[in-house]
Structure 1
């Protein structure tokens, strides 16, 4: 039978307890969930996937459909549906019994999780408690609690304000580790009925986790392993659930989240089974094969695509400036942006073999002893199939760049301006490398390359890109001059 309960009063003011002995078990759910399906949205909050954070906001979002078998008495009464997530959105929950079950829902309210010192005392107000102090114990009804202490009404009717207490023993069923739903129902007959619950919750989220294992040698090939990393920090387990993952960035409401200790959980399905991919409005969905277990406080890794071999490119990139132009030609003699011995970024690039959801790529290589070594990791944005992916893994140890402006000239009457640079690249490694140099001429939008020691590999209105070969244990120098032009109307 479902226990009848009263609403739990919650106080917003926090209380600092020296020690609270929670002797009661957590609220027993009405029935374990069956036929559960979860639509989990992409989340990019690192704390959701880490055990180092105890609290966060806006972490994860999921839509849950689950069926509960409830024992219902005839007539008008209240039932409690427990084992709901602690991060439940109380304004986004719907329940229905369906036609032919003879049950009408007259009203509902949500009891939020209170498995904390603050929430535990709130939930026990009006109930019998035992308070221990250094000089003894006091038993009575808990009237209230605040930062100043607890108010206890003893059997003689007196009210005691107790400041310095060491523990509080609470009654059974006064503490809930998850949220509960109270339903005011009217049933034509008693018996077991099936209720369909639909709600949204935070504390659940997913992102892609890509593992790239590079082959040793001068070329670039890699074993590419795409997985989905699914975090459950909602405060309850989901077992035997049908899971759909949504890739993309829909606008979702802001929800607060409580965090829990976390352990890694293995994927609960055969490696050969791959998710079924489909479009979902403006987004992509991945339906996982088979039933999945998502225990609370875990991160589950499951295959997103089959592991495959890919060709790739190791790139070394240095970039200056950005795609910005002033409202008028900038003829001032400043902003040279010189630098000396700057580290050059090490990147890994490849063509997306499938639609790749946003996530993190970790690149590995074998050291001389054959042990795997981490080259670095970086973010992957949502990338359609066939598009280029470029991930910055870190800063190269052996390669450096220096930049010096060598000339600057303005002819105001002719409406022209020229600027020259020399970039020196060094390579202390044992293998020759090609460094990609990306410059952004940004004194004015009308510009051209007057001369350069190496032909540009790419030129757009916002970018001037060179591919500079740098020999092993050597260096290379690039020089170029940019000429700007404008009209009287541009001034």
Structure 2
């Protein structure tokens, strides 16, 4: 099906605007970006209409700021036209107006458009005859002109007042939704799980309805408050092959990082084109090696205090410190960290992934990878004594079994009632009070053996 319009589109443009001489794009974590363009605009003397197209389809028109470099030019009014040309929009505006419809058989039906939907088009000829045509049979619609108010691209229209007229360089900036970025990290742990090689990439997902050609690109990491809540677009996270990871490890640094207000700003050292409906990936930093530790945790605080499972799962985590001493020491933007390890043949295998938040330097990063296969746990409340007036004494027993051929240490995290003052009566393993309602135990378990934690407390 074709849509034909016999009209001179050039007549729509009142003032001349050249393509952008310079474009800058700043992308934020929360699905929006700041676009800045510098263009040559020709103003007519006195009042004139200036049309500025090639803006993002998801532009926030209330955020537009225009700044002519030359004095004597005032912007009196601004309109944002976003009713784009399409079949439905054309048909709606041609209701009760004559159009032509051409069918597969070559028949031409002319008449006043009375009604249309996805299945039928109803026309009334000059002689009053009514024709109902199935849209499946229609190959072409013909209209005599482009209706007023429809535009080919989202367009900003300004009413400008200029003293003498002529060309002026203008900087236009605006916010747009539909563009976001996040970090992608790939880590490869060594055979002993004591060191990892970490590389970082940036993924920019552009669904804003515009292409930013040869743009200066900057990224802001941090939570920037906006009055109107936006629903973020969640781009698909790509899975990486071993070959792709090898390329990642060889990437050179392309971003310069700096502290900016209460956030962090990353500036690409070269220009780049960010196309509409594109996910672009750029190296954030080259491969760095840092020490790491595998941490086993048994966390009972993830369930209600009174409804704990009898056989909880032991979780496997990878932990490292983001410090220069350990080979890193750079602000890490939030994103997804995927971990790989070489098997006995030297082939990399995926062992887990987790989300990481914005992490300043000198802070710890803990990544949850999965549940331990060869470490089992049992948790049982073995005694309860009612001391009256919502007071009591309870005893818990946690049994850890290690079916691995190496010794391990499991961090056992236990909940305590936060609404009552509590105190430990006895414990066979020393505990550390982490908060008002949580304690931790470091339980060592020999290879092929088991260990039992028993504690009693009152509240």
TM range (shorter): 0.7 to 0.9
1:197 aligns to what? 172
Quote how far apart the aligned CAs of 1:416 are: 5.5
Q: Contact 1:366 / 1:372 at 8 angstroms: preserved in 2?
A: yes
For residues 401 and 109 of structure 1, do their structure 2 counterparts lie closer, same or farther at Cα, with a shift above 3 Å needed?
A: same
Alpha-carbon distance in structure 2 between the residues aligned to 1:463 and 1:306: 39
Alpha-carbon distance in structure 2 between the residues aligned to 1:470 and 1:141: 86
1:456 aligns to what? 431
Counterpart selection for 1:343 from 290, 303, 313:
313
Q: What does the per-residue CA deviation read over 1:46-92, in whole Å, with 9 as the maximum and x for residues that have no partner? A: xxxxxxxxxxxxxx111111122345555544343221111112332
Counterpart selection for 2:412 from 437, 454, 465:
437
Q: Contact 1:86 / 1:258 at 8 angstroms: preserved in 2?
A: no
Counterpart selection for 2:342 from 359, 366, 373:
366
Alpha-carbon distance in structure 1 between the residues aligned to 2:442 and 2:45: 80
Alpha-carbon distance in structure 1 between the residues aligned to 2:384 and 2:91: 73
Q: What does the per-residue CA deviation read over 1:168-223, in whole Å, with 9 as the maximum and x for residues that have no partner? A: 53669788674212233345566544332111101111122222111122x42111
1:378 aligns to what? 354
Q: Contact 1:433 / 1:471 at 8 angstroms: preserved in 2?
A: yes
Q: How does 1:29-428 map to 2 (within 5 A)?
A: 31-43=18-30, 60-73=31-44, 76-100=47-71, 103-112=73-82, 114=84, 118-119=88-89, 121=91, 130-132=100-102, 136-139=107-110, 156=126, 164-166=134-136, 167=138, 169=141, 178-187=153-162, 192-217=167-192, 219-252=193-226, 253-255=228-230, 271-280=252-261, 282-321=262-301, 336-352=306-322, 353-412=329-388, 417-428=392-403
| SS in structure 1 of the partner of residue 171 of structure 2 | strand
Alpha-carbon distance in structure 2 between the residues aligned to 1:186 and 1:344: 71
Alpha-carbon distance in structure 2 between the residues aligned to 1:344 and 1:471: 16
| SS in structure 2 of the partner of residue 321 of structure 1 | helix
Q: Contact 1:422 / 1:478 at 8 angstroms: preserved in 2?
A: yes
Deviates more, 1:133-142 or 1:449-458: 133-142
Alpha-carbon distance in structure 1 between the residues aligned to 2:236 and 2:364: 37
For residues 200 and 337 of structure 1, do their structure 2 counterparts lie closer, same or farther at Cα, with a shift above 3 Å needed?
A: same
For residues 203 and 316 of structure 1, do their structure 2 counterparts lie closer, same or farther at Cα, with a shift above 3 Å needed?
A: same
Number of paired residues? 429
Q: What does the per-residue CA deviation read over 1:319-347, in whole Å, with 9 as the maximum and x for residues that have no partner? A: 113699xxxxxxxxxx6434233322211
Q: Contact 2:252 / 2:285 at 8 angstroms: preserved in 1?
A: no
Alpha-carbon distance in structure 1 between the residues aligned to 2:231 and 2:421: 50
Alpha-carbon distance in structure 2 between the residues aligned to 1:361 and 1:399: 24
Deviates more, 1:363-372 or 1:73-82: 73-82
For residues 189 and 160 of structure 1, do their structure 2 counterparts lie closer, same or farther at Cα, with a shift above 3 Å needed?
A: farther
For residues 140 and 426 of structure 1, do their structure 2 counterparts lie closer, same or farther at Cα, with a shift above 3 Å needed?
A: farther
Alpha-carbon distance in structure 1 between the residues aligned to 2:238 and 2:186: 20
Q: Contact 1:275 / 1:305 at 8 angstroms: preserved in 2?
A: no
Alpha-carbon distance in structure 1 between the residues aligned to 2:124 and 2:33: 44
Q: Contact 1:351 / 1:386 at 8 angstroms: preserved in 2?
A: yes
Quote how far apart the aligned CAs of 1:157 are: 9.4
Alignment RMSD:
3.9
| SS in structure 2 of the partner of residue 357 of structure 1 | coil
Q: Contact 1:61 / 1:202 at 8 angstroms: preserved in 2?
A: yes
Q: Contact 2:59 / 2:177 at 8 angstroms: preserved in 1?
A: yes
Alpha-carbon distance in structure 2 between the residues aligned to 1:354 and 1:430: 37
Alpha-carbon distance in structure 2 between the residues aligned to 1:169 and 1:258: 36
| SS in structure 2 of the partner of residue 271 of structure 1 | coil
Quote how far apart the aligned CAs of 1:144 are: 7.3
Where do 5+ consecutive residues of structure 1 fail to align?
1-19, 44-59, 325-334, 485-491
For residues 190 and 131 of structure 1, do their structure 2 counterparts lie closer, same or farther at Cα, with a shift above 3 Å needed?
A: farther
For residues 262 and 389 of structure 1, do their structure 2 counterparts lie closer, same or farther at Cα, with a shift above 3 Å needed?
A: closer
Q: Contact 2:180 / 2:233 at 8 angstroms: preserved in 1?
A: no
